[in-house]
Amino acid sequence: MELLWQAQQVHRAANPGYHVQLASLLSVKTGGCEEDCAYCPQSLHNSSDVAGRPELEVEPVLERARAAKQAGAHRFCMGWAWREIRDGAPFEAMLQMVRGVRELGLEACVTAGMLSDSQAERLAEAGLTAYNHNLDTSPEHYDRIITTRTYQERLETLARVRRSGITLCCGGIIGMGETDDDRAGLLQVLANLDPHPESVPINALVAVEGTPLEDLPPVDPLELVRMVATARILMPQARVRLSAGREQLGREAQILCLLAGADSIFYGDTLLTTSNPAVDADRELLAAAGVQVGG
């Protein structure tokens, strides 16, 4: 209760009137990723790999962005299951998608793995609002989850994005067998980035069959509330995004997360490859909570 009280005081000061941003997420290139992230159904190291879907072309992606805007979304996020961005036709298509999303009046976010300084600069020139690159967990727990990319490489990617002038979207996942110290360690790294990430997604593991973490139990909803509240206190001006795992939460737990300082939710039927609450259910939730929807 003390944690919620403190988080609410910080949040009231940082977000007067309590506006919640709605973000929609689309998987443009699905599956076949070379990384071995233990939670991910898109890794070619896992039997759950969902490769085989064709990469989406520019116009179908923009059509989905228009539909997301029509449904009330303010930010449109696009994901590519890549270890790193490669120059060539797919990157040129990504730039076209970013320009198209921005022309619709939406914020544009991309997640596509590591990138070079020149790629970051070109994304900035195209108008990209934010680049998502999560740290996932603490430095100490990281090697148990991913071995194909180092923590330092993730931090270097964040630095490249920051140098280009694009805002950062960076958070993590709870429920992957980590300790409370690991959760604190992740938030400590995020809170010591200068400046703080503008966007901090807090995810709860969705245990997918065919991944090494498939047998882990669901996260206690109150643990997600604690994570949101602590992130809010440590990073007062960041958008704390209630992300994967929200479908496992009851209405009351989601409202507790909003009370604790979450001011963005992912909105739409899917999150890359896992399901998400329906749009109508989210509208009813936000109405019940009495919060205003805003960009």
Is 40 an annotated catalytic residue? yes
Asked if 151 and 188 count as a contact pair (C-beta separation under 8 A), the reply is: no
Active site residue 257: no
Catalytic residue among 37, 75, 183, 239: 37
- The single residue of 154, 241, 246, 257 carrying the catalytic annotation is 241
Is 33 catalytic? The answer is yes
Q: Do the Cβ atoms of 127 and 163 come closer than 8 Å?
A: no
Q: Which two tokens stand for residue 117?
A: 């300084």
Q: Are 10 and 231 in contact (CB under 8 A)?
A: no
Q: How far apart are the C-alpha atoms of 208 and 193, rounded to whole Å?
A: 31
* CA dihedral (287, 131, 190, 206) positive or negative: positive
Catalytic residue among 40, 75, 246, 257: 40
Token pair for residue 193?
A: 């980035």
Torsion 12-264-68-245 (CA) sign:
negative
DSSP summary character for residue 88: S
For residues 190 and 229, the answer to whether their CB atoms sit within 8 Å is no
CA torsion sign, 145 to 151 to 157 to 161? positive
170 is catalytic: no
Peptide bond preceding 195: is omega within 30 degrees of 0, i.e. cis? Answer: yes
Residue 174 φ then ψ, to 5°: -110, 160
The catalytic position among 64, 149, 169, 183 is 169
**Cα–Cα distance, 201 to 169 (Å, whole number):** 7
Active-site choice (64, 77, 246, 257) = 77
Residues assigned a catalytic role:
33, 37, 40, 77, 109, 169, 241
